[in-house]
Structure 1
């Protein structure tokens, strides 16, 4: 899959550097040539000898090595690769990239390169959540840097949360997607998926029957066409696809914040079944059942994410796609929704109980555009996703 491709791998100084040994092996298994560059801190976690042995190439470490400058200067080194991959991308490296610093070989290469750059962040959860890191991440995304991970889980420091470097095979999938000759290569697309859970109290919530299967399939289909996908998912029944940036949320408000943080984007596909309402003042303790007395719940509207993104002005994605799950008068309701929300397309489907679509493996959709209503035959959700992804590619390219 990567035959003839060269990856310039910059290894940052974090405990996750040990994963790069397997990452190098996996990239080479797929035919890629790997040129390794190590920061001084990286050598505290893995040895240049082990990296060189797995890569089958010399490890570059020093900006001022005159022999290397004579053989391959740092400018040339930064431009002979098809992709520059930073893994792990520490908080320090991300900050230097965002501010254009160049005080060692790794950062000089990153500033001098004119090839695509991908980062796999890895750091303590508090460092990842810090406002400075999130600002730097937004700057890098705006500069066209693609991001894979980080994942959520236990960390070497004993804490738990987002900040673990993506696993080697996840990174490889992202590299394959970035280097594949797909029509959506270089495009960044936000996909929302799954239901949202709106709390009533700590043990109860309002939700719907969405499994997240259709949104997951769409994210995978877009990734297969080369897009960089930010996958914002509620508590779905199906796992997220490989090779996408996963942002997990619970509530509609959290989904809205995640979508806004994921901009800028070339397109946004809102496949999530977001709850329309939430409980005002959800109880902080379990509501007890009392004989003869029913709890009174007051509701308020959740943020309208589709409408807000559709009306973002200059920051609006070039293509905004909404979904309409209806139980009657599907085309009429979906057409009215498209006009009301201001989105470009609406993917409408009939989710009345007799169809078995909600939570099932098939879907029958109607695509609502400026041109009118286009009914698609009933097919598997993967097939619907591929057909929609192809239409999105046609619209963006």
Structure 2
């Protein structure tokens, strides 16, 4: 069997793997109908950890303060900032009696570790149900707290939400960031519905104090620079205790990076946590990435010499049409449908970027948060 024959059969196998992922995993989210949850009106502690976020707090915190919800507090954590963050937090607390200030001073053992600051904030929270977002984030609805908290129940103690990024016109980087965010959300929503929840995003995530303290907080990965959201959820989430919320009233929106250098550094920190996931999650995610990479690589190798092009084209189109269908439906749910027209270009660029990030992380460790 020659080289092209080997690539050909490899290509067929890769397409079959991709079809399985899209039909049996990603299809669970694409064709899922969100059941309208009954508002619980339970007491909620909204937790925001801020490090050098004075400007963003002035802009985005009012969206949290103005939430239409009867019983919630806002726990504002100043994580050893060296700008005016603490002053801004104190100014807000003077105007609103439901704001609690937690001022964290840096200590050598946990310097640059967001998990230490979050732990102090969680301990200071007075309510049993916790809802997390970032200082550069805003809820897109006044019903964010109500919608996210409505998915809590006696069994569901974790709620995974969607954290979008704001749109910037005529910016390829912005489309790439939003596409990566869309793909990540489709992945973790789909795996959660499959019964294999493996991550959430701290921009929009909720869980109970009991889950946090039963797991001894972040102690199992306290020395890992990132992962206060995805590693913690990877540790505690199960088929029985995890709910997903993708109603548009539950979305948050963050400010995206505006240079490739800043985005690259951010993704290096995020990707570095994946090696700490449970083995079953690492295997599935590695298989997904490898099949994405090999699909395009094998297709290129086969199309250039026009090797068995009729069969190759059929399998190529099967995967492309299926991808457009599943991601098209999913992107509508997450209000990212405008990205669909750029799908092949964004996917190829993202695959190359992720490979570059992985190689860089092997060579040197990414920096701590901010």
Q: What TM-score comes out, normalization by structure 1 length?
A: 0.30
Question: Which structure would you say has the larger RCO, counting Cα contacts within 8 Å and 6 or more residues apart?
Answer: 2
Q: Could you say which structure has the larger radius of gyration?
A: 1
Q: What TM-score comes out, normalization by structure 2 length?
A: 0.31
